[in-house]
Amino acid sequence: MQRTKVLDHIILLIGVFIMVAPVVVAFTTSTHEAADIHSNGLSLTWGGHFAETYETVLTRQGGFTGKVTGFNMMMNSMILGLGFAAGKIVLSMLAAYAIVYFRFPLATAAFWIIFTTLLLPLEVRILPSYEVMNTLKLTNTYPGLIVPLLASATGTFYFRQFFKSVPDELLEAARIDGAGPFKFFIDVLVPLSRTMMAAIFIIMFVYGWNQYLWPTLMTTDEGFFTLVRGIKQILLVWVGSNIPDYNEAFALAILAMLPPVMIVVVFQRWFIKGLTESDK
Amino acid sequence: MPLIRLLIWVYAIAPPVAGLMGMMFFDQHIGPIVKLAAWFGWDIRVGLDYFDTAFAMIVVSVWKQIPYNFIFFLSGLQGIPTSVREAAALDCRSGLRRFWTVVLPLLAPTAFFLLIINVTYALFDTFGVIDVMVKDKAANNPITLVYKVYMDGFRGNDLGGSSAQSVILMIIVLVLTIFQFRFIERRVHYN
Amino acid sequence: MAAIDIAEVSKIYTGGVEAVKSVSIDITDGELIVLVGPSGCGKSTLLRMVAGLETISKGTVKIGTRIVNQVDPAERDIAMVFQNYALYPHMTVYDNLAYGLRNRKTPRAEIDARVTEAARMLEIEPYLDRKPRALSGGQRQRVAMGRAIVRKPAAFLFDEPLSNLDAKLRVSMRGEIKRLQKRLGTTSLYVTHDQLEAMTLADRLVVLNGGRIEQIGRPLDVYHAPASTFVASFIGSPAMNLVKGTLEGSRLKIGTHTIELGYPAPAAGPVTVGLRAEDLRPAAISEQALLFRVDYVEELGAQRLVHGAVEDQELTVVLAPEMPLADELAITIPADRLHFFAANGKRLYRQATTGLASARTPTVNPEPAL
């Protein structure tokens, strides 16, 4: 019994090493100077240039036009992540509420239209989506960045499932107590959904923050670059130079993963709940 | 539980960021994996050799997707009733055999679900990894259909070809979704 | 078949909680022992220690002649029926029954014979090819029983096997378990929280409370001579009435009422008096009586539960339904049907003057009289 426990732990530790080591190495290496990395390779030791590197990455004007700093990109990422998560929750809760609680004409049709969006992830409709945004002159704007991403049924299905599990007696009791549809939604459903909302919010924030393809298409103005979007740009700049700025690349990578990773680690329980119960 | 925390956080890393880290680890000058492979006489040349590039992309993409699979397998394992595991403990002495005959069959639905999810992931979510790793020089490098749709449509201005490929992509998604929904139906029966 | 010897077994969880406190039970070969008690009394933990699903913190468990403390559950030669049946959902009924035998390298022909026999016995032959999810609760219960029977183990362990069934099915399965157990003659340990199930099934029952044994005994002995107020209130329905009284010589005072016992009281001073609702009856004019104020009545059909009070102490009385009711009744009880308990809840035993009393030999040492 004792021996298998030790073995279990060794296996677990190997797993943790494989998952964690690359990120740790990326972080420690980012504290070295570029020339140092170039001659000595990746490093697990503390390089002592943490402040300089991260200050440079956060505040120095980068990219081709010099219009954007790491800090700007971080703010853009934040706007995208939060805006996407909040928009997704509002939209999908309202849609699910309508689907579950109202018998309106063409309800079935509406359900199937929402359902088909599951078949159309952004990746298969990038051309038309881009065309629409371009015509509306929404390229290089935050709405242009966020709104097309919202159009998918994942969150709606999740809330639909949850609302269906709410007992009908609750609606009946609320009706007897004189609550209309709006009051029922605000006073009963929303408070009941609180943990679900938190779980979905975390998943969606991570999803929004990590968006890459759509921001690549939508933002040509570097002022609207997100961190994740900016990475390749940075890469392109230093690819040509003699001694690539490995340290800055790593620092940027660390910055880009920090907020979503923090959220996942801190709210692990809700995160796992959201992931396993929504089934994507 | 703290160890589990460490196992799953990689989920939150964006594909292009993972790709960037992969670039570093597979870098000609500083990459430890390249050095390790050289030890075994394998000269990895990411970006030049088709197979080596594909290998690096797969390593990075798999690494990033491990937490997702881990979480679902974990919840799948936790979903097996304790009493069923105990009944098996009374019926079968060998732990390995027990795993093989009771635990694994009960995990099969989870594995099937993950198979579909992972295929979807490979189709769509690897875009960032690929884009960072091929650095706009798709020439001789392995790319996915989504990447080709993007390249043809936005770089090559071949709107027709790009749209046609989008339609193919949509059909693939349709098939996968049907599979997934049939699976969910089956799993409902399972309990 | 084998005897099971549980000797001073304790379960101490990490953190110091002691769920089972030095419990000893001798189970003879072929006996059906029922562990009964409220939830959290340690009955399931004890059963699981016998099964090997929990480690034994202290003491020894012997199955047959072998101490099994360190023996793997699969090697203990026992079979268990779980509360939620714990059928393998991915296997057919046949495979569920055969699984344990296959793992023990039983020849195929014998597996087939045993499964067929068990299926016939439990009337589940038509379902052998089905998966558990296609069965009703009662059928699943039978499959779970079958899985235990085919193994022909030294002992059956039942962990509340009937509590997921509806009331009607529970009664019929109860009878069936008793019948099967007698027919197979397999030593059995059965856990339940239902005192009726315990009474009807047990050869001997073990009443547990807070990890300790309150009483071990044959169902009727426990019913007629509960060893403590806990057992008195737990076994029997409606629960035994417990009222405050005072013993003086051979006289019992309850409030202002006095009852002549006709035998020397087992103690003197304040005691808890136990009166079975079914022992109480209306008093004849000449008899010594308690004045009973009726509060409300529950009709059970065959009988009637009358709830009320004698002065300020609540009582329940079982009366025949055709008896006329008044707001106040004079009720009485034969003196030899009274139970006395000391302040610590232990039974006070009468000196063995009557043959009846000595027949109910207590299994727990009487506390010295007050």
Residue range B25-35: mean pLDDT, rounded: 83
Half-sphere exposure of B131 (CA within 13 A, CB side): 28
The pLDDT assigned to B138 comes to: 59
Residue A79 has pLDDT above 60, yes or no: yes
Any chain A CB within 8 A of the CB of B116? no
The pLDDT assigned to C263 comes to: 87
How many whole angstroms separate alpha carbon A124 and alpha carbon B163?
A: 9
The pLDDT assigned to A112 comes to: 81
Any chain C CB within 8 A of the CB of B123? no
How many whole angstroms separate alpha carbon B70 and alpha carbon B107?
A: 12
In degrees, to the nearest 5, what angle opens at C-alpha B175 toward C-alphas B172 and B177?
105
> Quick one: closest CA in A to B184, which residue?
A279
Residue A81 has pLDDT above 80, yes or no: yes
- Of the candidates B143, B123, B155, the residue with the CA atom closest to the CA atom of residue B47: B143
The pLDDT assigned to B1 comes to: 57
Residue A255 in domain? yes
Contact in structure between C327 and C293 (CB atoms under 8 Å): yes
Give me the DSSP letters along B102-169: IIHHHHHHHHHHHHHHHHHIIIIITHHHHHHHHTT--TTS---HHHHHHIIIIIS--HHHHHHHHHHH
How many whole angstroms separate alpha carbon C121 and alpha carbon C147?
A: 12
Residue A140 has pLDDT above 80, yes or no: yes
Q: B touches which chains (3+ CB pairs under 8 A)?
A: A, C
ipTM > 0.85, yes or no: no
Residue range A223-238: mean pLDDT, rounded: 77
Across the interface, do A264 and B173 touch by the CB < 8 Å criterion? Answer: no
The pLDDT assigned to C346 comes to: 92
pLDDT category at C206 given cuts 50, 70, 90 is very high
Across the interface, do C86 and B101 touch by the CB < 8 Å criterion? Answer: no
Across the interface, do B87 and C89 touch by the CB < 8 Å criterion? Answer: no
Full domain range(s) for residue A225: 72-278
- Of the candidates A273, A253, A270, A19, the residue with the CA atom closest to the CA atom of residue B6: A19
Starting at the earlier edge strand, list the strands of the sheet with C78-81.
C78-81, C155-159, C187-192, C32-36, C204-209, C212-217
Q: Classify the C-alpha dihedral C141-C147-C150-C154 as positive or negative.
A: negative
CATH number of the structural domain spanning residue B154: 1.10.3720.10
The mean-pLDDT minimum among A61-65, B114-118, C81-85 falls in A61-65
User: Hey, of A1, A9, A73, A127, which one would you mutate to test binding to chain B, going by the most B CBs within 10 A of its CB?
Assistant: A127
Residue range C294-305: mean pLDDT, rounded: 92
Q: Is C218 exposed, middle or buried (0-12, 13-18, 19+ CB in 10 A)?
A: middle
Query: Residue A21 carries which side chain, given as an amino acid letter?
Result: A
In sequence order, which residues have a C-beta less than 8 Å from that of residue C229 and are 6 or more positions away? C242, C272, C274, C341, C345
CA distance B51 to chain A (A): 22
Give SS3 for B48: coil
Across the interface, do C73 and B88 touch by the CB < 8 Å criterion? Answer: no
Residue range B138-165: mean pLDDT, rounded: 84
Residue C365 has pLDDT above 60, yes or no: no
Any chain C CB within 8 A of the CB of B41? no
In chain B, which residues have their Cβ closer than 8 Å to the Cβ of A23?
Answer: 10, 13, 21
CATH number of the structural domain spanning residue A226: 1.10.3720.10
Any chain A CB within 8 A of the CB of B35? yes
The pLDDT assigned to C212 comes to: 93
The pLDDT assigned to A209 comes to: 93
Could you give the domains of chain C? 4-224 (3.40.50.300), 237-359 (2.40.50.140)
pLDDT category at C58 given cuts 50, 70, 90 is very high
Query: Residue C265 carries which side chain, given as an amino acid letter?
Result: A
Mean pLDDT of the residues in chain A: 83
How many whole angstroms separate alpha carbon C369 and alpha carbon C154?
A: 43
Residue C252 has pLDDT above 50, yes or no: yes
Residue range A11-20: mean pLDDT, rounded: 88
CA distance B128 to chain A (A): 6
Residue entry with tokens 């494989």: A18
Across the interface, do B84 and C147 touch by the CB < 8 Å criterion? Answer: no
Any chain B CB within 8 A of the CB of A96? no
Residue range C337-356: mean pLDDT, rounded: 79
Number of domains in chain A: 1
Residue B181 has pLDDT above 60, yes or no: yes
CA distance B180 to chain A (A): 10
Any chain C CB within 8 A of the CB of B156? no
The pLDDT assigned to C355 comes to: 43
C81-94 pLDDT, tens digit each: 999 999 999 899 99
Number of domains in chain B: 1
Across the interface, do C80 and B91 touch by the CB < 8 Å criterion? Answer: no
CA C17 to chain CA mean position, Å: 24
Any chain C CB within 8 A of the CB of B87? yes
Across the interface, do B93 and C89 touch by the CB < 8 Å criterion? Answer: no
In chain C, which residues have their Cβ closer than 8 Å to the Cβ of B93?
Answer: 72, 74-75, 103
Across the interface, do C86 and B94 touch by the CB < 8 Å criterion? Answer: no
pLDDT category at A64 given cuts 50, 70, 90 is low
Q: Between C8 and C363, where is the model more confident? A: C8
Any chain B CB within 8 A of the CB of A14? no
> Quick one: closest CA in A to B176, which residue?
A119
Residue A62 in domain? no
Residue range B87-111: mean pLDDT, rounded: 89
Residue range C99-113: mean pLDDT, rounded: 92
Q: Between C317 and A180, where is the model more confident? A: C317
CA distance B115 to chain C (A): 20
Mean pLDDT of the residues in chain C: 89
The pLDDT assigned to A103 comes to: 82
Q: Between A273 and C315, where is the model more confident? A: C315
Q: A touches which chains (3+ CB pairs under 8 A)?
A: B
Tell me the percentage of chain B whose pLDDT exceeds 90.
Answer: 19
The pLDDT assigned to C308 comes to: 94
The pLDDT assigned to C361 comes to: 42
Q: C touches which chains (3+ CB pairs under 8 A)?
A: B
Q: What is the dihedral of CA A237, A240, A243, A245, to 10 degrees?
A: 20
- Find the DSSP H helices in chain A: 2-30, 34-40, 50-59, 70-101, 107-116, 126-135, 142-150, 154-165, 168-176, 181-184, 190-192, 194-209, 213-218, 227-239, 246-266, 268-278
Tell me the percentage of chain C whose pLDDT exceeds 70.
Answer: 95
Measure CB to CB from residue C84 to each of B83, B102, B191 and give the nearest one.
B83
Residue B139 has pLDDT above 90, yes or no: no
The mean-pLDDT minimum among A72-86, A94-108, C7-21 falls in A94-108
Q: Between A233 and A86, where is the model more confident? A: A86
How many whole angstroms separate alpha carbon C229 and alpha carbon C232?
A: 5
pLDDT category at B184 given cuts 50, 70, 90 is low
The pLDDT assigned to B20 comes to: 86
The DSSP element (H or E) to which B98 belongs, if any, is helix B95-98
Measure CB to CB from residue B72 to each of A118, A213, A276 and give the nearest one.
A276
Residue A63 has pLDDT above 60, yes or no: no
The pLDDT assigned to B191 comes to: 40
Any chain C CB within 8 A of the CB of B163? no
Across the interface, do C82 and B86 touch by the CB < 8 Å criterion? Answer: yes
> Quick one: closest CA in B to A26, which residue?
B21
How many whole angstroms separate alpha carbon A153 and alpha carbon B177?
A: 13
DSSP one-letter code for C191: E
C125-153 pLDDT, tens digit each: 999 999 998 999 899 999 999 999 999 99
Residue range C57-71: mean pLDDT, rounded: 93
Residue range A224-252: mean pLDDT, rounded: 75
The pLDDT assigned to A32 comes to: 85
pLDDT category at A62 given cuts 50, 70, 90 is low
How many whole angstroms separate alpha carbon A124 and alpha carbon A4?
A: 48
Residue range B2-27: mean pLDDT, rounded: 84
Residue A247 in domain? yes
CA distance B76 to chain C (A): 14
User: Hey, of B1, B6, B110, which one would you mutate to test binding to chain A, going by the most A CBs within 10 A of its CB?
Assistant: B6
The pLDDT assigned to C352 comes to: 59
C152-197 pLDDT, tens digit each: 999 999 999 998 888 888 999 999 999 999 999 999 999 999 999 9
Any chain B CB within 8 A of the CB of A205? no
Contact in structure between C274 and C315 (CB atoms under 8 Å): no
The pLDDT assigned to A36 comes to: 79
pLDDT category at C357 given cuts 50, 70, 90 is very low
The pLDDT assigned to C265 comes to: 87
Across the interface, do B89 and C73 touch by the CB < 8 Å criterion? Answer: yes
The pLDDT assigned to B110 comes to: 87
In sequence order, which residues have a C-beta less than 8 Å from that of residue B53 and are 6 or more positions away? B46, B47, B133, B134, B141, B142
The pLDDT assigned to C147 comes to: 93
Q: Which of A90-94, B7-11, B111-115 has the highest mean pLDDT?
A: A90-94
The pLDDT assigned to A233 comes to: 72
How many whole angstroms separate alpha carbon C369 and alpha carbon C55?
A: 40
User: Hey, of B84, B85, B86, B91, which one would you mutate to test binding to chain C, going by the most C CBs within 10 A of its CB?
Assistant: B91
Full domain range(s) for residue B110: 2-190
Examine residue C238 and say whether the peptide bond preceding it is cis (omega within 30 degrees of 0).
yes
Any chain B CB within 8 A of the CB of A209? yes
Residue entry with tokens 């919010």: A201
How many whole angstroms separate alpha carbon C43 and alpha carbon C23?
A: 10
